[in-house]
Amino acid sequence: MKKLLLFLGFWVLFLCPGLTLAQEWLSLFNGKDLQGWQRVNGQAAYTVEEGCIVGTACMDRTNTFLITEQTYDNFILEFEFQVNDGLNSGVQLRSHCDPNYRQGIVHGYQFEIDPSPRAWSGGIYDEARRGWLYPLTFNPTGRIAFRNQAWNRARIEAIGSKIRTWINGIPCAELWDDADSSGFIGLQVHAVYRPEDVGKSVRWRNVRICVTQPERYTAREPIAPEVNTCTNTLSPSEKADGWQLLWDGQSTDGWRGAKIATFPQKGWSIEEGILKVQKGDGGESTNGGDIITTGSYRNFILQVDFKITEGANSGIKYFVDPELNRQAGSAIGCEFQLLDDQRHPDAKLGVAGNRTLGSLYDLIPAPKEKPFRAHEFNTARIVVQGKHVEHWLNGVKLLEYERDNDLWNALVAYSKFAKWSQFGNAEQGHILLQDHGDEVWFKNIKIKELP
């Protein structure tokens, strides 16, 4: 019997380490005062009341943070929080307050606390830098985890390049990102601009962290749909899920000119993992020309990170048939428009804004309000499943449509593509990055083919 118990105990330890090993926790808050913490940036007040850290909003256009004096790299962080309705908040992790970066503004990963109807609590935001990395549009089931105006339990695992979040035991986010490997923990009181929000508060208690071999206590399987923002790489989960890199970040393999058999000798460059279409005269394909994938695709999810230089115009096209237009101008296909809406004249052309950023060019307009980040990389996502197509920008769906039907054909008939027979109705085609004579940057070009 003793041998049997030892044998069973070994397998329990091996299979369920998180349930059986004595996890070492350190308290980040002693329940009495703010020893080990300091306030930075804004003017919101932080006090200790009944064993809780209380952050209270004031009229201030700057976010306020209470940050740890110590920094952390790999850890599991757990805490409880409660927030007044209407007050946005968050918890920083691996964050920084560098005087050389935007005059010392706090920046880095943030666990979102969002009591608004949007319900993105548990998502991951890159404060004062790249914006949303993991909005809850990627995991709609995670939106039910947060309980408004009640106490909530949060868990964050930050191990290597993987960050995972839970609220009340429900998985919210799973992110691969390598921008920061260490930094402080911070408690945010968001800036408020309305008098009725002054005095609202957010509370934290039971704030504890595990830094001793935290990887032993992490979930082994993916807990939520994964987002990978590491440059030109595929995570193990992406590989297992069928994702492929369309561009390796180093060479021109897999790409050629839309109207030539080889990659263009001018007009495109590769610099530090970024594929750049270079500045030309602003015309369509008058410099290096468009480039297309050597392969063609039918049903797929395509993701491309892009950055627009000031006043630039370009596009990501799909269902491209390079034989349709062998003359001057761009190759023909459906286009996710890339445009500086504020500075390029094309934004005011077309019909009802159907040439603006994210639109199906000259056919269907994207919303006027969209989550675009100027001067930063943005993620375009195109989903094609049979006749159904979607355009997404930074995790937000901009538009969707059905092709190859009477309504679609009528829409095409009143566009600049009317002269191309059966435009947009091909079962498959190439992916294209457009040369429109302006400098635009691309990276993280990946695709998942669908059944």
Return the domain boundaries, the chain.
16-228, 240-449
Residue 183 has pLDDT above 90, yes or no: yes
* Spatial distance between the Cα atoms of 260 and 263, rounded to a whole number of angstroms: 7
Contact between 324 and 420 under an 8 Å Cβ cutoff? The reply is yes
| 250 bridge partner residues | none
Of all residues in the chain, the percent with pLDDT exceeding 90 is 89
Question: What are the tens digits of pLDDT across the range 220-255?
Answer: 777 899 999 999 999 999 999 999 999 999 999 999
Confidence of residue 326 (pLDDT cuts 50, 70, 90): confident
Which residues does residue 4 pair with via DSSP β-bridges, in sequence order? none
pLDDT for residue 124: 98
Q: Does domain 16-228 match CATH 2.60.120.560?
A: yes
pLDDT at residue 325 tops 90: no
The confidence score (pLDDT) of residue 5 equals: 38
Residue 9 has pLDDT above 50, yes or no: no
pLDDT recorded at residue 341:
97
**What's the pLDDT at 282?**
84
Q: 1 falls in which pLDDT band (50, 70, 90)?
A: very low
Which residue has tokens 């993987």?
162
Kindly give the pairing relationship between strand 226-228 and strand 170-176: parallel
Q: Mean pLDDT, the chain, as a whole number?
A: 93
* Whether the predicted pLDDT of 408 surpasses 90: yes
Burial of 306 per CB tally in 10 Å (0-12, 13-18, 19+): buried
Residue 392 has pLDDT above 90, yes or no: yes
pTM metric for this prediction: 0.89
Quick one: average pLDDT of 66-84? 98
Q: Which of 289, 285, 335, 346 is nearest to 312 (CA)?
A: 346
Cα 45 to chain centroid distance, Å, stands at: 31
The H or E element spanning position 80 is strand 75-83
| Distance between CA atoms of residues 311 and 340, nearest Å | 5
> Which token pair is 144?
């039910």
Determine the pLDDT at residue 14.
Answer: 35
Res. 22 pLDDT band, cuts 50 70 90: low
Residue 47 confidence (pLDDT) above 80 = yes
CA distance 332 to 324: 6
Spell out the long-range contacts of 104-112 with Cβ–Cβ below 8 A and sequence spacing 24 or more: 104/40, 104/41, 105/41, 106/40, 106/41, 106/63, 106/65, 106/67, 106/186, 106/188, 108/180, 108/183, 109/133, 109/158, 109/163, 109/177, 109/180, 110/188, 111/154, 111/156, 111/165
Domain 240-449 has CATH 3.40.50.150: no
Look-up of token digits 């005269």:
281
Q: Can you tell me the distance from the alpha carbon of 133 to that of 190, in angstroms, rounded to the nearest whole number?
A: 19
Q: How confident is the model at residue 200 (pLDDT cuts 50, 70, 90)?
A: very high
For the residues 131-135, what does the mean pLDDT come to?
96
The rounded percent of the chain whose pLDDT value lies above 70 is 95
